[in-house]
């Protein structure tokens, strides 16, 4: 980071990291859906417009808007978005035919999703800025509770401090499992493959290879293993060099660009509220 440039940490991402956080988006989706209750809840969702495999752009807008609202939104925006998400979640629950039991209002599963968002944010910061000092890390962690409490998770369910979170995270990894069905479902996210879009062969392979490198680079090893993604020292060096280049140009970009698209998503949310359009 250039000398003298001040950055303020917010709940989830630093002011200058909002845009580059998208690079880890697919990795975070895989982390969240690695809990079977979350994964099958998304895969079997009855909310057609929210199906990530059929409407990836709309699903991405919904997910990124939630992140923007939880980390930077006003109380009014949070209340409006909570109501809209609750309406969609009411249709997401398992059936007797589902391989696992789930319910979108399950607070434990919602806590897991919030924990993945927090963990992903810290990992992004580590790549693009470096380690936080203890005081900053503690403040950032307390602020990040909004990632959980913006929905149904009570404040007391958010682990009390970073040490408690680390214990929660390690215990929760025991509940992570990606079966063959979910692995096939998640792979297109890992390589940013859009349904119905096919590029010329060499271009498609380069596109997917690049995205697979970035996604795998941001995944903790447990999730790489579950997805059966290969990782080694050579891939790590390639990933590190790529991130160094992106970090250089991100530091040069004006603030509006660094915060895109999250800054625009909050404006879009206000417009939707004002005009009575669906929020999710």
* pLDDT band, very low/low/confident/very high, at 1 (cuts 50, 70, 90): very low
Residues in contact with 242: Cβ distance below 8 Å, sequence separation at least 6, in sequence order: 213, 214
Task: Give the mean pLDDT of the chain.
Answer: 86
Rg (the chain; Cα; Å):
18
Global pTM reads 0.86
Angle between helices 180-190 and 25-33 (to 10 degrees): 170
Q: Does 19 or 69 have the greater pLDDT score?
A: 69
CB 125 within 8 A of CB 132: yes
Is residue 14 pLDDT above 80, yes or no? no
Confidence at residue 4, expressed as pLDDT on a 0 to 100 scale: 33
* pLDDT band, very low/low/confident/very high, at 236 (cuts 50, 70, 90): very high
DSSP class of 89: H
- Whole-angstrom CA distances from 124 to 27, 120, 121, 172 are 11, 6, 5, 21
Cis (ω within 30 of 0) for the bond into 41?
Answer: no
**Three-state SS at 93:** strand
**HSE-CB of 120 using CA atoms within 13 angstroms:** 29
Distance, in Å, from the CA atom of 170 to the CA atom of 264, rounded to the nearest integer, reads 35
Q: How does 110-146 read in b/e, with b if 16+ C-beta sit within 10 Å?
A: bbbbbbbbbbbbbbbbebbbeebeeeeeeebbeebbb
Residues in contact with 103: Cβ distance below 8 Å, sequence separation at least 6, in sequence order: 41, 92, 93, 94, 109
Confidence at residue 81, expressed as pLDDT on a 0 to 100 scale: 84
* pLDDT band, very low/low/confident/very high, at 167 (cuts 50, 70, 90): very high
Instruction: State residue 14 phi and psi, 5-degree precision.
Output: -70, 155
Q: Residue 122's closest CA among 31, 254, 56? A: 31
Is residue 7 pLDDT above 80, yes or no? no
Confidence at residue 15, expressed as pLDDT on a 0 to 100 scale: 53
DSSP class of 180: H
How confident is the model over 204-232, as a mean pLDDT? Answer: 96
Is residue 193 pLDDT above 50, yes or no? yes
């Amino acid at each position: 980071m250039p000398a003298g440039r001040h950055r303020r940490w917010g709940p989830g991402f630093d002011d200058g990291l909002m845009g580059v956080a998208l690079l880890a988006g697919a990795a975070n989706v895989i982390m969240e859906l690695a809990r079977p209750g979350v994964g099958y809840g998304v895969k079997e969702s009855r909310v057609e417009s929210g199906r990530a495999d059929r409407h990836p752009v709309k699903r991405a807008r919904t997910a990124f808007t939630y992140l923007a609202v939880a980390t930077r939104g006003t109380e009014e925006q949070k209340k409006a978005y909570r109501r809209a998400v609750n309406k969609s979640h009411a249709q997401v629950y398992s059936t007797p035919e589902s391989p696992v039991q789930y319910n979108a209002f399950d607070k434990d599963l919602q806590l897991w999703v919030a924990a993945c968002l927090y963990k992903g944010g810290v990992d992004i910061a580590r790549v693009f800025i470096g380690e936080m000092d203890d005081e900053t890390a503690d403040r950032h962690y307390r602020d990040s509770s909004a990632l959980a409490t913006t929905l149904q998770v009570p404040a007391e369910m958010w682990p009390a401090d970073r040490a408690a979170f680390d214990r929660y995270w390690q215990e929760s990894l025991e509940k992570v499992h990606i079966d063959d069905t979910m692995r096939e479902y998640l792979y297109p996210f890992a390589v940013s493959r859009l349904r119905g879009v096919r590029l010329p062969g060499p271009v498609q392979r380069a596109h997917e290879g690049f995205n697979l490198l970035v996604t795998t680079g941001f995944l903790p090893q447990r999730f790489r293993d579950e997805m059966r993604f290969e990782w080694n020292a050579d891939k790590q060096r390639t990933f590190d060099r790529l991130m160094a280049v992106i970090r250089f140009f991100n530091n040069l970009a004006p603030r509006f660009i660094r915060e895109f698209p999250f800054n625009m998503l909050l404006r879009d949310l206000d417009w939707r509220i004002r005009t009575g359009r669906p929020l999710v």
